[in-house]
Amino acid sequence: MAEATPKGRYHHGNLRAALVQAGYHLAVEQGPDAVTLRAVTRRAGVSPAAAYRHFAGLEELRVAIGLWSIRGLARSIEEHQSQVEVADPAPRARAMLEAVGDGYLAFALDQPRVFRIGLYGLLGMEHAELAEGAGDSGRTPFQLLTDALVGLAAVGVLPAERVEPAAIQCWSSVHGFASLATQGPLRGAPREVRDVMARRLVRDVVDGVLAVGSRSEGDETS
Amino acid sequence: MAEATPKGRYHHGNLRAALVQAGYHLAVEQGPDAVTLRAVTRRAGVSPAAAYRHFAGLEELRVAIGLWSIRGLARSIEEHQSQVEVADPAPRARAMLEAVGDGYLAFALDQPRVFRIGLYGLLGMEHAELAEGAGDSGRTPFQLLTDALVGLAAVGVLPAERVEPAAIQCWSSVHGFASLATQGPLRGAPREVRDVMARRLVRDVVDGVLAVGSRSEGDETS
DNA sequence: GTCTAAAGTAAACGATGTAAACATCTGGTT
DNA sequence: AACCAGATGTTTACATCGTTTACTTTAGAC
């Protein structure tokens, strides 16, 4: 899509999109460090300076490429959510939350290079909330998580004031696991092993989030 | 320490360590991207090519600098653990595990730049297990975590076969939270807020790890 | 049709990582 | 005490990078 690649024409037509695509493929094939301004423009068949008509500089180009990667993450979550078929409101809300975690981890495990590009190589977590990282529904991964938690609150399973801390807890665990499973100590483990770990982690985290109030506030180690 | 900086001498004496120090300070002051081979050698008062007598290239130098940063993380954990004064074996084992999380997050929140240098800017999580990242006890952060869990197993609070999955669970949550709190959506929150969140997260995670078996294996969303 | 502004090119500059050839120091052997 | 070999720094050079400046082409509005 958006591959308007005219031949021999002086004006490209849609160079901005073409540069992002070129950079994306470059990153997937050769790693984030290969995403250099000259390499990207070279691949797009254009002179280096041409990029400056569409981006302020390399950094902005890299962010655009990274955001394109993150869109895949959002889409993966949306896809998992669209397959939830539970009808009862409360169980459905829970399933929608699990779908966020499952979609997140499925993407990280299925396309580790892309995942890495988006969240480590080209942009940091400080860009996680940028609107350009949104999926087809127009919501970014973080918003999809919050939406799911708000959904749980709406059916009365989660106190409204617990939505924010729960978001942190979910995001921490899932993102942390994704890091370990794709780049950390688990990166060598067989795919099936990481799959069941992922599935279990998501279930445990959701359990933990919903078990609120059943644990007292002040008890300590004694 | 290890600042053997001779004046006017042709030979430096301890250039390798000096380069790591120079690079470390450069990274703390100006960010990871400022850690360039020429900048580091310049700061050490030495010609660029001199670095090649001690490192294969820029990448190896950056890793060495990153590992130096990670040592601070290990030391922070060790420090927290050394302040545990509980005597009873079981509660003590639990406190030692909590100290791992507390030390980890204290370091991340106290010195976010250093934390970021070590785990994001200069080296990725794939270096988390390198021995050079060890603290004074000679153990790396990940080893300290495993040690604490083995300690819990030794006093019978945790099934031995749960040590490994528990390590994943702890590491995921704590590292994920550190990412969120230093670079993610929480990076703007007041320090006290993040502190209580951190404290609570660690306690919740440890609770979760120790609550094993009290949850059935096969129940689903219904 | 013309003409202006958008979108591309070309050439140049300073900075970077790295390699090769050269210079200097240091420590052990006689 | 003189010497020499290897370790350690320096100099010079090169290809590549990001970015700027001045120029060229082209598409579309009037």
The C-alpha atoms of residue A189 and residue A186 are separated, in whole angstroms, by: 5
The C-alpha atoms of residue A8 and residue A45 are separated, in whole angstroms, by: 10
For A23, the token pair is 């950079």
Asked if strand D comes closer than 7 Å to B50 Cβ, the answer is yes
pLDDT mean over B98-127 = 94
Name the residue in chain A with its Cα closest to that of B170: A173
pLDDT at B219: 47
Cα B136 to Cα B1, B83, B114, B132, distances in angstroms: 15, 15, 18, 11
Residues 32-91 of A with CB under 7 A from strand D: 36-39, 48-49, 52, 57-59
- Is the pLDDT assigned to residue B206 strictly greater than 80? yes
The 10 Å CB-count burial string (b at 16+, else e) for A107-142 is: bbbebebbbbbbbbbbbbbebbeeeebbbeeebbbb
pLDDT at A138: 93
Best A86, A125, A143 member to test B by mutation, with max B CBs in 10 Å, is A125
Residues 6 or more apart whose CB falls under 8 angstroms from that of B161 comprise: none
Q: CA end-to-end span of chain B, whole Å?
A: 61
The C-alpha atoms of residue A38 and residue A43 are separated, in whole angstroms, by: 8
Best A183, A221, A222 member to test B by mutation, with max B CBs in 10 Å, is A221
- Is the pLDDT assigned to residue B59 strictly greater than 80? yes
pLDDT mean over B39-56 = 97
Q: Which of B148, B139, B3, B171 is nearest to B70 (CA)?
A: B139
Name the residue in chain A with its Cα closest to that of B166: A201
- Distance (Å) from the alpha carbon of A89 to chain B's nearest alpha carbon: 11
State which residues of chain A have pLDDT below 50.
Answer: 1-4, 216-222
Other Cβ atoms within 10 Å of A17 Cβ, number: 18
Other Cβ atoms within 10 Å of A67 Cβ, number: 20
pLDDT at A9: 76
More confident residue, B151 or A165: B151
Phi-psi region of B213 (alpha: psi -120 to 50; beta: other; left: phi over 0): left
Nearest by CB to residue A95, choosing from B169, B197, B221, is B221
pLDDT at A213: 52
The C-alpha atoms of residue A212 and residue A55 are separated, in whole angstroms, by: 47
Question: Are the beta carbons of B71 and B133 closer than 8 angstroms?
Answer: yes
Report which residue is nearest nucleotide D12 when distances run from CA to C1'. Answer: B49
A180 shares contact with chain B (CB less than 8 Å): yes
The 10 Å CB-count burial string (b at 16+, else e) for B64-99 is: bbbbbbbbbbbbbbbbbbeebeeeeebbbbbbbbbb
pLDDT at A180: 93
A111 shares contact with chain B (CB less than 8 Å): no
Nearest by CB to residue B125, choosing from A169, A173, A184, is A184
The C-alpha atoms of residue B44 and residue A30 are separated, in whole angstroms, by: 33
pLDDT at A219: 47
B208 shares contact with chain A (CB less than 8 Å): yes
For A180, the token pair is 């370990």
Q: Which residue has the tokens 């050490």?
A: B44
For B137, the token pair is 């006890």
- Rg for chain B, CA atoms, rounded: 20
Cα A57 to Cα A47, A52, A53, B159, distances in angstroms: 14, 6, 9, 54
B26 class by beta-carbon count within 10 Å (0-12 exposed, 13-18 middle, 19+ buried)? buried
pLDDT at A221: 42
pLDDT at A133: 83
- Distance (Å) from the alpha carbon of A175 to chain B's nearest alpha carbon: 6
Residues 6 or more apart whose CB falls under 8 angstroms from that of A199 comprise: A102
Nearest by CB to residue B176, choosing from A120, A171, A185, is A171
Nearest by CB to residue A221, choosing from B91, B125, B175, is B91
> Among residues of chain B, what percentage have pLDDT more than 90?
77
| Distance of alpha carbon B167 from the chain centroid | 15
Contacts of A180 in chain B (CB under 8 A): 125, 168, 171-172, 175
Question: Are the beta carbons of B93 and B155 closer than 8 angstroms?
Answer: yes
The C-alpha atoms of residue A175 and residue A101 are separated, in whole angstroms, by: 9
Q: CA end-to-end span of chain A, whole Å?
A: 61
User: B36 CA, D7 C1': separation in Å?
Assistant: 25
Q: Which of B208, B139, B140, B127 is nearest to B172 (CA)?
A: B208
Q: Which of A120, A112, A133, A111 is nearest to A33 (CA)?
A: A120
Q: Which residue has the tokens 């009808």?
A: A87
